[in-house]
Amino acid sequence: MRYVNHEAVVKKMNKRLIVNGIFKTIFFAATLFALLVLAVLFYRIISQGVGYLTPEFFQNFGSRVPEKAGIKAALIGSIWLMCVVAPVSIILGVGTAIYLEEYATKNKLNDFIRMNISNLAGVPSVVFGLLGLTIFVRALALGNSVLAAGFTMSLLILPVIIVGAQEAIRAVPQDVREASYGMGATKWQTILNVVLPSAIPGILTGAILALSRAVGETAPLVVIGIPVIVHFLPENLLSQFTALPMQIYDWAKRPQEAFQYVASAGILVLMIFLLIMNSIAIFIRNKFSKRY
């Protein structure tokens, strides 16, 4: 007695192959749609903005005259901002991840913390802006400085860095940890010599991707009151400054048509900035990642 009737299977085969083809087309169309929109966006920005990407654009401060408007203050300001966000968020984020993955015992409180860190990653950025305004700008009286904005942005991307670092640490096989413990190594020696060397490519990749989110984020900066027209460069961490997304936002909302082109040029600069950061992340991942 056979249960599979091969003749019937062959007869129905055509129908199955057609359904397969239909779904393939649907999924391809979905991909194509996203790519097309992206291509149109790129085309518009490049065609509008590339004419404004002159050496003067990088040397001038903001101006009422579109031809004289430059991105110097915003570009340097964003780099200053990153100099605060990167160390603060990476040190706090990786430290938290190490504690949660390697030291924390499994109990309800720690499970609750773990779960809520993932939830924090989904909180809207404007909420973090309000938090920054209350704590750093007002309570700690840092004003709308590089430091206040840097701390706020660090809080914003901290959950992403923690979750990324936790995953990188978890990916280190348990048996090399056991090998280290088995020789009498302490937890910290094992983390430093075995876990981190293997986890660092993954940790850095996640951190850089999180940082590039911080570079492009606007809402928290608006909430904590970062100015848009700045005619000086920051001198120290307590200086006022402006950042790329603020500058672009300001240009884009101006009535003169020419400023739309300036905004496009600013977007191009921001995108190149992000592209460079992401390339570094990919480079680190490919160069240093060890496979088990």
Partner 1 sequence: MVQSFKKGSASQIDASSIVYDTQKLNLWYGNHHALKNIDLQIKENEVTAIIGPSGCGKSTYIKTLNRMVELVPTVKTSGEILYRERNIFDANYGVEELRTKVGMVFQKPNPFPKSIYDNIAYGPRIHGIKSKKILDQIVEKSLRGAAIWDEVKDRLNTNAYSLSGGQQQRICIARCLAIEPDVILMDEPTSALDPISTLKVEELIQELKEDYSIIIVTHNMQQAARISDKTAFFLNGEVVEFDSTDVIFSTPEDKRTEDYISGRFG
Positions that interact with partner 1 (CB under 8 A): 105-106, 173, 175-176, 178-186, 189, 193-194, 197-198, 290, 292
CA distances 14 to 4, 17, 20, 21, 104, Å, are 17, 5, 10, 11, 57
Q: Which is nearer to partner 1, 4 or 183 (CB)?
A: 183
Task: Report the distance separating Cα 168 and Cα 265, nearest Å.
Answer: 37
Q: Which is nearer to partner 1, 14 or 105 (CB)?
A: 105
Smallest gap from Cβ 287 to partner 1, in A, equals 14
289 three-state secondary structure: coil
Three-state SS annotation for 223-249: HCCCCCCCCCCCCCCCCECCCHHHHHH
Smallest gap from Cβ 105 to partner 1, in A, equals 7
Q: Which is nearer to partner 1, 111 or 235 (CB)?
A: 111
Residue indicated by tokens 């990749």: 205
Smallest gap from Cβ 175 to partner 1, in A, equals 4
Q: Which is nearer to partner 1, 178 or 235 (CB)?
A: 178
Smallest gap from Cβ 196 to partner 1, in A, equals 12
Smallest gap from Cβ 188 to partner 1, in A, equals 10
Evaluated on CA atoms 46, 47, 49, 52, the torsion sign reads positive
Q: Which is nearer to partner 1, 31 or 107 (CB)?
A: 107
